[in-house]
Every structure is written in structure tokens, then in C-alpha cells.
Amino acid sequence: MQISEERLRSDIEKNASFGAIEHEGHGRTALAGTPPNGSARDYFVERLEDAGLDVKVDAVGNIVGRWVPKTADPNADAVAAGSHLDSVREGGMFDGPLGVYAALESVRAFQDEGVAVERPVEVVCFTEEEGQRFGSLLGSSVASGQTSVEDALAHTDDEGVTLAEGLETIGYAGDGRVNAEEWDAYLELHIEQGRRLESAGVPIGIVTGITGITQATVNIQGEANHAGTTSMTHRTDALAAASEFILDIERAANHTVEAESESAVGTVGREIVSPNSTNVIPGEVTLGVDIRDIESDSIANIVRDAKKSLERLEDERGVSTSYVTDLDINPVPMSDRCQDAMRQATEEMKLDAPKLPSGAGHDPMRIASVTDVGMLFARSKDGISHNPMEWTSWSDCATATRVLGESIANLASN
């Protein structure tokens, strides 16, 4: 199957012009339901129509272009593929658009070469994946039935504008609901947003699952006191206790990587110290903890170690502590059938495609609750994403798109 790198690049570059910002690299700000997002959608719908696809926009703005070639049974469940066109503030050009235009380019390649698929193929753009205005994974939550159309439309941004109003403004308040349950499978190509593929020196990887995540707020109370007049033996230093906790989290994650699951990660990314003055012993520290893995057992083990650490600090240092879970999402495995279809494609192309987990959340997390899903990652330069410096070479984009196309063909021919 022949992918047109030029056609793919032209679409992604044109898409990047909507909401483009002045910055080194290729930055854009195209939040869901804003005019740049509207222009990007208009261009996408034109491209779908140019390729002869039937376009449908649902009530929450999800766009689907449906292709039913003569070889396909129009009543068979479709194989769907896509991603999203909304960006974060000052984001990059590939996160989302690569997956949308790779799906469309796959269909155009099928058309060019007369690939005889037996199922309809649908090219999908989900609304508001990033969640920078109305909440993340919103379009896919509706398509998978986890959020109702009414609830989604009532989500508001910081100014109190609803998703319904945002979509109305840009002309993408459609009808009905894209129902992912009707899909035979859903595939998505996305940039990796990490360095594993770059480190491995390969352009593409097959995602085994989207990691589960638990986030917690940990509070440690000691006693604020004069740093000069309070002897070492009379202090209850909340920051020293917090420092032990941070290293305990790191140790627990490293131990889990060695013993159980190499994809496990544990991070303390946020720390607020009070009163935070050089000459005062810290009286209170609040920490933001983030633990993820593809295996829920690993997450549970690190959480258990975190709580043990706090108990120990209470005993040994006399601090008071609390651990409040803010977020708790289970790991979402990708379907074996979809991984097999992608593995078959890479083997035929003689590509080394390592298996890897996705540490970030994506629309397939939602879609996996109603049909088989698979994800491909394309190599990211320096692992940078959500940043104008985000970069995947055009040749990697083309290679990854060809793997996506072959995988869709594999699934659509069964």
C-alpha cells in the first residue's frame, strides 16, 4: 500500500495554520469550539468530501466520514480510525491531527490502490480530547455512552460558556450521537509523547494499553518554628518529613519497575511549603502525587508503600499526615485482536515495532468500554509534546500511517 507523504504533510501543515502562534517550532492554539478549531474542522470536512466520504456531525460535534466501497457490506460494523483536532494552549502540530489525517490518508490510499475492504471504514474526529475548555475526552465519552449528550453540552469553560454554545458559534452543533458500539474496532495513531521509541531507534510502536492513574494530595503537618532558636532535637520539620516521603515514592516505583512491571511510574510533581521562609522551619507541606501503570496491581502496591511511608513518618518524626485520593482511573488494555492486526502489518512491512504502554490518556480509553480498540505510537523527537517544539519527521508520519492503513485493511477484511 502506497501512502502519499506529500498529501499527508500538506493536510497536517494546513491544519497547523489554524490558530498558529509565533514561536520557534510549529505552535498552535486551537481549543475546542473556538474559531481556529472551527476552521480546522471546515478544512477537514472538505477533505473528507473531496475523498467522497459521507460526513456526519453529531450533537457534541464529533465528525465522522464514512466510506463504503463496493467490496464492503454496508450493513457490516465499520472499522473506525481517527483522533482529535483540538489542541492545548500553545500546543504542537501533531498531537491529534496526525491520527485524524493518517486515517483519512489510509482511506485515500485504499481508493488509489483499490484495496478490497469488506467493511465500511469511518474516519473520526472526536470533540475536545484535550479538555482545556470543557473537560477531557468529552467527545469519546459521549460516543461510548459514558457521558450523555445533554451532560456534555452543559459543560462550561472558565467564562461560563457551554460546549453547546461553543459548537453553535463554529457551526458544529449537529444531530444524534456517533455510537462507537456500532464499530467493529477503533484504531488510533498518535505521537508517543515520550522517548521510548526514540531511544529504541524505531519509528513506531504498538500500544499494549493505556496506563491507569491515581493522583493524591498528601498533607504533612509539622511545627513552624524559628530556624535559629529551635534546636535540632526540638523540631518537627514538615519539609524534612516530606523529603523522606518523596524519596520513598521514588524508591517504591523503582522497586516495582525492577520486580513487577517496567512501565510503573511514581512522581511527586507538586510541593507547597508553608510558611516557606528560609529562616523558619517548615510547618506544613502539601504534595501532589501521581502514580501510573498498565498493571493495576503495581499501582496498588505503590499506593500501599506511600501510605506505609506516611505511617512511619508519623511514628518517627511526630508529624500528622493525610492522603486524599483525587483521581483513580483503572488501566485500559488494548484489544488483542487489534494488536494482532497491527503486529501483522508491521511484520509484513519488516518493521521492528516494540510494544509499549501509553502513559497519557487518549480517546481509546473511553472507546475501549464498547468495542475493540488499538493504538499505534509514532516516534516523538526528544519526547516533547504539548509544546510548539513537538516534532515527528514526515517520513515517520508516513511510515506510521502506512502501518495504520494496513492494520485497518487487516481488520476490515475479516
**Closest approach of its own copies to the CB of residue 196, in Å:** 7
Residue with smaller CB distance to its own copies, 267 or 335: 267
As a whole number of angstroms, the distance between CA 158 and CA 168 comes to 18
As a whole number of angstroms, the distance between CA 96 and CA 80 comes to 15
As a whole number of angstroms, the distance between CA 60 and CA 63 comes to 9
Residue with smaller CB distance to its own copies, 114 or 201: 201
Applying the rule CB under 8 A, the residues between 292 and 331 that interact with its own copies are: 292
> Total binding residues for its own copies by CB under 8 A?
59
Residue with smaller CB distance to its own copies, 114 or 269: 269
Find the binder of its own copies among 24, 70, 75, 279 (CB under 8 A).
279
Applying the rule CB under 8 A, the residues between 164 and 203 that interact with its own copies are: 192-196, 199
As a whole number of angstroms, the distance between CA 397 and CA 189 comes to 10
77 and 369 in contact (C-beta within 8 Å)? no
Applying the rule CB under 8 A, the residues between 79 and 118 that interact with its own copies are: none
Find the binder of its own copies among 5, 77, 151, 271 (CB under 8 A).
271
**Closest approach of its own copies to the CB of residue 243, in Å:** 4
The dihedrals phi and psi of 298, each to the nearest 5 degrees, come to -65, -45
Helix (H) or strand (E) holding 269: strand 265-274
27 and 21 in contact (C-beta within 8 Å)? yes
Find the binder of its own copies among 276, 296, 322, 414 (CB under 8 A).
276
**Closest approach of its own copies to the CB of residue 414, in Å:** 32
Q: Is 387 in the site for its own copies (CB under 8 A)?
A: no
CA 256, 262, 264, 270 dihedral sign is positive
> In the stretch 210-229, what mask flags binding to its own copies with x, by CB under 8 A?
-x-x-x---------xxxxx
Q: Which of 320, 83, 295 is nearest to 186 (CA)?
A: 83
Which positions ≥6 away from 403 have C-beta within 8 Å?
189, 204, 342, 345, 346, 349, 351, 353, 376
Reduced to 3 states (helix: H, G, I; strand: E, B; else coil), residue 90 is: coil
Q: Is 355 in the site for its own copies (CB under 8 A)?
A: no
Binding site for its own copies (CB under 8 A): 192-196, 199, 211, 213, 215, 225-234, 237, 239-240, 242-244, 246-247, 250, 253-254, 257, 262-273, 276-282, 288-290, 292, 358-360, 383, 385
